[in-house]
Amino acid sequence: MIRYGVLLCCIVAICWSCGGANRLSRYYTEEDKAVFELVDQVKKTPADKALVRQLFDAYDMAFQKREKMDQYPGLGNHLGDHYMGIAREWEIVQKMYQAIRQLPLADKQQPVILDPTSRLNQVKQEAAEQYYQSGKALLGYNTRQQAVQALDYLEKANKAWPGYKDLNQLLQVAAERAVTRVLVNPVNYNRYNWSYWGFQNDWLQQQMVRDLNARAFRNVRFFTEWELRSQQLVPDKIVDLDFVELFVDRVHTERKRYDRSKSIKTGETKSNPPQPIYTTVRATVFVDRQYMTSYATLECRIYDRENNQNILFDRFPDRFNWVQERARFTGDRRALEPSDIALLNNRWDDRPPTREQIAEQLIRSTYQQLLSRINSGVSF
């Protein structure tokens, strides 16, 4: 299980460094904008004492305004959201404070200005406490649905104040309880089992578990039946994979022959003017052809274990056509067409693809269709 505290701390730090300013700027009041404009002006004319005094007065007004505000634009109905709205206001003040502290001349003229850090930390901890209590209470119900809600609150608490109290432990508990467990059953390979096709194990079942876990569905994990049984877990959803068709053809051989004839110019008469002389040339082409047509249809059903309702039920077909031809001829080569020459030059492989190679290609192709379908919109 990922240690949520460390992970979320990194995410918060990255988001703040890359987009913190843009995140806050849309919430600036006109008074806030005036402070930042005065900062820019002081940078250009740092010796202007009146301008510096105006900047500090504007900052003090912005600071006092936040202290006197009774209502803050919250982020939702939860009390923790309300405190996060307050924190956002103090983050704006902190941004002003940092901008002013970076002005060396202004700093010398008024080295002490009100620092919003303690107020910002106070409301963030209060927000974390509210989220923490809600999440902890929901975990007490010991159900997956309540655990999903608890995980949401606990993640918000960790975003407000990373590592608050025993958040890391509670996040792990909530994450485990919130997981939707999906069982991927062994694959039914039509009339045969996987060993008939030359596979050492049911790689398709294992591949699907790996691919879907790598897809990172929120609060969803995929298991084989052995993995669930070894952990004494019960699945919430079930995936059945069934090849309703899986046919590998044998090699068919057919032979045919056809005649070619062509009138070609072979000379000219000695008359004046000379006339062309044509000769009819003939050839017989003998063609050997080998071919086979194989096909498969993978049927997938994903359903809820308790109510048996389908999440997905569909079929994914594919075909594999293999053909090779070679030719020889008797007669005059000049009678042949370009297509005949191409047949004469064809490479002939005495070893067509094996049953195992064809089966694996069909299985992979139909599976990739299924995987694309799941990734494009199946919700667990």
Domain ranges of the chain: 4-178, 179-380
Asked if 299 and 308 touch (Cβ cutoff 8 Å), the reply is: no
Helix H or strand E segment including 266: strand 252-268
Kindly report, residue by residue over 80-112, the tens digit of the pLDDT.
999 999 999 999 999 999 999 888 765 565 557
Report the alpha-carbon distance of residue 138 to residue 116 in Å, rounded.
34
Residue at token pair 């843009």: 22
Q: Give the pLDDT of residue 200.
A: 85
Taking 70 as the pLDDT cut, the residues of the chain under it are 1-21, 70-75, 105-111
- Other residues' Cβ atoms within 10 Å of the Cβ of residue 277: 10
Among 3.10.450, 2.60.120, 3.40.1350, 3.40.50, name the CATH number for the domain at 179-380: 3.40.50
CA 145, 149, 154, 156: dihedral to nearest 10 degrees? 150
Q: Give the pLDDT of residue 366.
A: 97
CA 366, 368, 374, 376: dihedral to nearest 10 degrees? -120
Residue type, 197: W
Q: Give the pLDDT of residue 18.
A: 45
Kindly report, residue by residue over 350-362, the tens digit of the pLDDT.
788 999 999 999 9
Asked if 174 and 155 touch (Cβ cutoff 8 Å), the reply is: no
Q: Which long-range contacts (CB under 8 A, 24 or more apart) does 229-233 make?
A: 233/181
Q: Give the pLDDT of residue 108.
A: 63
Report the alpha-carbon distance of residue 10 to residue 274 in Å, rounded.
92
Report the alpha-carbon distance of residue 93 to residue 292 in Å, rounded.
75
Q: Give the pLDDT of residue 185.
A: 96
Mean pLDDT of the chain: 88
